Amino acid sequence: MDRILEGKTGVVFGVANKRSLAWACARSLSDAGMRLAFTYLGDRLEKTVRQLAAELPNSIVLPCDVTQPEQVTEVFEAIGKEFGHLDTVLHAIAFARKEELQGDFYHTTKEGYMLAHEVSAYSLTEITRAALPLMEGREGTIVTLSYIGADRVIPGYNVMGIAKAALEASVRYLAADLGPRGIRVNAISAGPVRTLSASGVKDFSKRLDNVADRTALRRNVTAEEVGDACLFLTGPHSRGITGSVLFVDAGFHIMG
């Protein structure tokens, strides 16, 4: 792997364990030379995230629950002290209550709707705003993870599909805001991968089997493939791309 990100720094939101898409992305970025900060949600995940981060050179680990604005501020204060600047933000977090991810969408409660949007969509804007002072003048990149449930009705995805649609629209507005500063903002729409969050979606295993038969490549994607797409959107080879949603789904989205 070429060290195309040597001397660059990034922050990764969303590692829960080694199956996390955020972890696959982090590995691709680190292999290319990027120094990383990781955040974790709550004491329960701290040990796992610290153990994983220790596998990558010079990484740091910080707590962050995006529903607590002061924790978002503290993350970037700590990164400022440790790294001095920031080139990349990877936003790979989402949450909806289990009861909102089954049955009919119209049963979604206002509380459940707001929580899903706060964590899964609004947090991108909040994190971007907090990161900006450290990203000035560095032609940085921001990448988030979405799903085809933003465009199409996927049974069981429910309120998360609405939140992903808001996330993808946020990518476009943020890209337009930050383009004049040379900062690019893109999303990856990943095919289904078995992770902790995915297990919360009803009948996820069935979906994995169904999708594999219906993709152009006749298989599911791997977390590593999502990680390498993240490297592409972070690095110089994608320098002409911003405001886009890149499908990394083995071609599922083109099939009729």
Q: What is the 3-state secondary structure (H, E, C) of the chain?
A: CCCCCCCCEEEEECCCCCCCHHHHHHHHHHHCCCEEEEEECHHHHHHHHHHHHCCCCCCEEEECCCCCHHHHHHHHHHHHHHHCCCCEEEECCCCCCHHHHCCCHHHCCHHHHHHHHHHHHHHHHHHHHHHHHHHCCCCCEEEEEECHHHCCCCCCCHHHHHHHHHHHHHHHHHHHHHHHHCCEEEEEEECCCCCCCHHHCCCHHHHHHHHHHHCCCCCCCCHHHHHHHHHHHHCHHHCCCCCCEEEECCCHHHCC
Output 22 or 185, the one with its CB closest to ligand NAD: 22
Give whichever of 5 and 190 is closer to ligand NAD, judged by the CB atom.
190
Residue placing its CB nearer to ligand NAD in the complex, 118 or 181: 118
Residues in contact with ligand NAD by the rule CB under 6 A:
14-16, 20-22, 41, 45, 64-67, 92-95, 119, 145-147, 190, 192-193, 195-198
**Least distance in angstroms from the C-beta of 145 to ligand NAD:** 4
Q: How far is the CB of 227 from ligand NAD (least distance, A)?
A: 11
Whether 122 sits among the annotated catalytic residues: the reply is no
- Closer residue to ligand NAD (CB): 42 or 236: 42
Query: Least Å distance between CB 49 and ligand NAD?
Result: 8
Q: Is 157 a catalytic residue?
A: yes
Choose the catalytic residue: 40, 113, 122, 157.
157
Q: Shortest distance, CB of residue 64 to ligand NAD, whole angstroms?
A: 6
**Closer by beta carbon to ligand NAD, 195 or else 234:** 195
Are 208 and 192 in contact, with CB atoms under 8 Å apart?
Answer: yes
Shortest spacing between CB 7 and ligand NAD, in angstroms: 27
The residues carrying an active-site annotation are 147, 157
